[in-house]
Amino acid sequence: MLRSARSIRNMTAPTRRTFLASAAAAGAAMPLLPAAERALTPRFAKPQKILVLGGTRFLGPHFVRAALAKGHSITLFNRGRSNPEMFKDLEQLRGDRDESDLDALKGRKFDAVVDTSGYVPDHVTATAELFRDTAAHYQFISTISVYGGFGQRPKSLDESVEPTKISDEEAAKYKTIRQSFRHYGAFKARCEAAAEAAMPGRVSNIRPGLIVGPLDNSDRFTWWPVRMDRGGEVLCPGDKDGHVQFIDARDLADWMLHCLEQNITGVYNANGFHGRVSMSEMLGACKCATSAPTDLVWASEEFLAENKVRPYMQMPVWIPREGRAMVKNDKATAAGLKFRPIGDTVRDTLAWAKAERGDRRWRTGLPAEREKELIAKWRDRGADVTDGGGKR
């Protein structure tokens, strides 16, 4: 059953207002395009019946909203444990992939299956084989971790790089989603292969990097806009010119839908951006999203290592020089992947965090006292410590 925008009632109020305002703005803008340009805009032939495996955490809701806004019909399959009140107007099927409980899916037909919750190859095989004779497209959300962990990857990554591997004997030891995280990248690579084996030529294996934006409870990006909004001296990591890459969940969701509508299959790196973005440019965008007086204090990689400051988690987004790689996205951008301005991602993430994140404990970043201690220690070296005020 198709759903109108009116039926999307299960978002929190701020998210719903933002979504509807964006949809209205997009609709109003369309008549302004020249007729020739409108004619060239790709259109899907008809609304699709899409099954989403997962769908109620972070990326899933963004995809569901994008698909509903374009007139597609969505059915969700999950355990009903994460945000069970979300999307109450949609058909929701219950089951547990860890328990091989797929009974609710048997005998069902969908045009496309979107797998946002596949971590174990056997799980992906089971769901893909259920729809091999009925679905036209299986979309698996993978990860750039298929190329290995930080420091193990080549410095430049395109889709031709061989994924990391794990032996059949070792893989057989891990049967559940939680267990699979021990070999996260290798298991995701096996999941890609499982999908392709079940539905050859009808799979889009999408490899995002760090996914960020509203609804992200991992704190791996959210920390920075919120920390800047708190003001004061902010400890910043490593060399200012070191590049960063991530993707807004809404951009990823839009492109996932585009791949289904245009029947785009194959393997794609889905990571930012159109051009290179440095750590200083990203943090500058975070600083400009707040009116709080903020000074950025840049400490060297060597200093951070000496003081056991862990990259990526205690210093979100940052990866030291030795572990840093450039993920090439040329293939995906040629297939229609687009990126909104980073400033929009920062602004919307901060607004979401203020309205909806709550006061739960931060999973990333440095405690305030530890940050002050490190800044004082860095200052004692007589370095140029801030962008905001020059030498101190």
Write out pLDDT tens, residues 228-270.
999 999 999 989 999 999 999 999 999 999 999 999 999 999 9
Closest CA to 311 of 319, 322, 303: 319
In 214-367, alpha helices (H): 223-230, 249-261, 279-288, 301-306, 330-334, 342-352
Tell me the average pLDDT of the chain.
89
Q: How far apart are CA 254 and CA 3, in angstroms?
A: 18
Q: What does the DSSP assignment read for 135-178? A: -SEEEEE--GGGG-STTTS-SEE-TTSPPP---HHHHTT--SHH
CB 366 within 8 A of CB 305: no
Joined tokens for residue 358: 């709550």
Question: Right CATH number for 212-247+274-327+343-392 from 1.10.10.10, 3.40.50.150, 3.40.50.1110, 3.90.25.10?
Answer: 3.90.25.10
pLDDT tens for residues 135-165?
999 999 999 999 999 888 889 999 999 999 9
Distances (CA, A) of 15 to 10, 61, 103, 354: 10, 11, 33, 12
| Predicted TM-score (pTM) of this structure | 0.87
The domain segmentation of the chain, as residue ranges, is 212-247+274-327+343-392
pLDDT band at 16 (very low <50, low <70, confident <90, very high): very low
Which residues lie closer than 8 Å to 24 by C-beta, 6 or more apart? none
Length of the chain: 392
**Type of residue numbered 36:** A
Whether the pLDDT of residue 384 is over 90: the answer is no
Residue 359 exposed, middle or buried by CB count within 10 Å (0-12, 13-18, 19+): exposed
The dihedrals phi and psi of 41, each to the nearest 5 degrees, come to -65, 125
Task: Report the pLDDT value the prediction gives residue 31, as an integer from 0 to 100.
Answer: 36
Identify the weakest region by mean pLDDT among 6-10, 97-101, 334-338.
Answer: 6-10
